[in-house]
Structure 1
Amino acid sequence: MRDLVGYGENPPRVEWPGGAKVAVSVVVNFEEGAERSIEAGDARDEDIHIFGGWQADPTRRSLMKESYFEYGSRAGIWRILSLLRRHEVPATFMTCGMALEKSPEVGPAIVREGHEICAHGYRWAGTVGMEPDEELAEIRRCVEAIERTAGVRPQGWYVRDGITENTRGLLRAEGFVYDSNSYGDDLPYFVPTDRGDHLVVPYSGDANDGRFWGNASLATGNELFEVCRDTLDFLATEADGVPRMMSLGIHSRIGGRPSVASGIQSFLEYAVARDDVWFATRAEIAEWWLAAAPATASGAGEAVEVASA
């Protein structure tokens, strides 16, 4: 059953570490090599618009389109890692298992830099339409690939195109702490499953370099900076004793390009200079919420016992 009420007028009063007003979660999506492609044996190439609107026939292999994705693993991911290192900002890398297999140096580098790896599916695709056994196989295949290539077990889950009614119960059974397949709130929240309550750390599509994808609604990195700055400023202003969370979404092949990266750099410089911001991975936010927030299931509307996964 959908929950259209959420916290309503009474959000939980949870104090972030250091008294911060806003927890900022930087998310880097690493998907390159896991997209649909004829070269990989798929029937069709990824059907996307790039470079402001150009599109190739998805039924024919496009080396041009492939090279657009390749930029993310060849150059973009390293530029983003450098930016984060320079500003000492931890991030959550939503990584596809196949992407890490095809770029074996990336997983160890993410872990070495102290970032979190969140499972992003084995392929860059969703699980909508899958039967429970198919979905469980996808979850396990992704986890195995991450463990093998990066040496860590992911605590979080997020997949393209969404999840099924069974996903969260499966995630709890597999030991996941949270998922981020929701755009429905500014704060983490619990949802009931047949295996107990499950934590959702919601994501966001507005402070996100996806705005440059296809028929771009943004043209410059400075515009992305302004969107991110305005988001942070507003959340901090309304955080009167109530926690707020901001997600910044980056994609290696998009935000890793110099023009977009310049806007990300400007935002990091701006946010790091503030004393009311807590930069945290999504796993850190989940851990804090599980320890400090009232144990309420989003769909139940009353207090329940919540066990940390």
Structure 2
Amino acid sequence: MALTIDFDAEELWLAEDPANAARPGVLSQARYGAEVAVPQLLNMLKRLGIPATFFVCGGDAERYPAIVESVAAHGHEIGHHGFTHRSPHLMERDQEVEELDRGLSVLRSFQDRIMGYRSPSWDISPNTLDLLVENGFSYSSNMMDAIFPYPHPRHDLVEIPVHWSLDDAPHFWFDATSWDRTIRSSREVAELWGEESSAIHEEGGLVTLTVHPQIIGRPGRLRMLEAFLTGMRSDDRIWFARCHEVASAVRDSAAAARA
């Protein structure tokens, strides 16, 4: 199981609508995620002894350097989540290069080697995988085509697969503009995550759980997340790993198969 935490604070809302820069009420959700939820998540993970991978927007790392320093100090992996939260498929190649370069420049000040990349909203462009290889990334975490991590056939990258069902945003993110996104109860989401995780583990696959501090960080949801992780932790057959550790295991297995 790979617990992944997408730390996108103000950059999320600015990418949604640049006019949000003048809406302090909207941006307060981002501040809650950074200043309230991340410390609580770090304390929870310390209690449970579970490592995580935090995918961080470079712009948000600049806003909250002490928070990102704390993530690294707790031994968690830091991955690239764009500099802004704009999706690569909306960019020209040179813009995507700049996003990667700016994000790497910031994130490397917190952790020497940034090995993984997750795009905002899991959207990539036809150039993304090439650029990841050129920049020395070890893995991508953006595809929904498998429940097992796998080597990309034409790129020197391992894929850590994801799915919306194991993400908190589709279930909890309220849309205040259209009101067409309803907020599910924590009980419903825990049931859904439990069913999906159990089925994946029965097949020997990888559960990649994705949460966002400003979404999962409400008190009731944090309580549910801790109970869910505690249940998973009680099964000694489950390996809790940072994403770069999963990628390394896949590479080792592929090398052994070729030998």
Q: What TM-score results when the alignment is normalised by the length of structure 2?
A: 0.89
Shift of 1:134: 2.0
Q: Which amino acid aligns with 1:93?
A: F
C-alpha separation in 1, matches of 2:190 and 2:83 = 31
1:156 aligns with 2:116: yes
Contact 1:223 1:263 in 2 (8 A): no
Contact 1:207 1:224 in 2 (8 A): no
Contact 1:224 1:264 in 2 (8 A): no
1:183 aligns with one of 144, 167, 176 = 144
Number of aligned residue pairs: give it: 251
Shift of 1:197: 3.5
Which residue of structure 1 aligns with residue 168 of structure 2? Answer: 209
Greater per-residue helix proportion: 2
* TM-superposition CA deviations, 1:216-241 (whole Å, max 9, x none): 5553222222222222222233x3xx
Mapping 1:1-309, distance limit 5 Å? 24-37=1-14, 43-45=18-20, 61-148=22-109, 150-161=110-121, 162-193=123-154, 196-210=155-169, 211-214=171-174, 215-216=180-181, 219-237=184-202, 239=203, 243-293=204-254
Contact 1:92 1:116 in 2 (8 A): yes
Q: What TM-score results when the alignment is normalised by the length of structure 1?
A: 0.75
Shift of 1:294: 6.7
Contact 2:5 2:52 in 1 (8 A): yes
- Aligned-residue Cα RMSD (Å) equals 2.2
Q: Percent identity?
A: 26
C-alpha separation in 1, matches of 2:42 and 2:233 = 16
Select the structure of larger CA radius of gyration.
Answer: 1
Asked which structure has the greater RCO (Cα within 8 Å, sep 6+), the reply is: 1
Q: Which amino acid aligns with 1:258?
A: P
C-alpha separation in 1, matches of 2:135 and 2:195 = 38
Q: Could you list the runs of 5+ residues in structure 1 that have no partner in the other structure?
A: 1-23, 47-60, 297-302
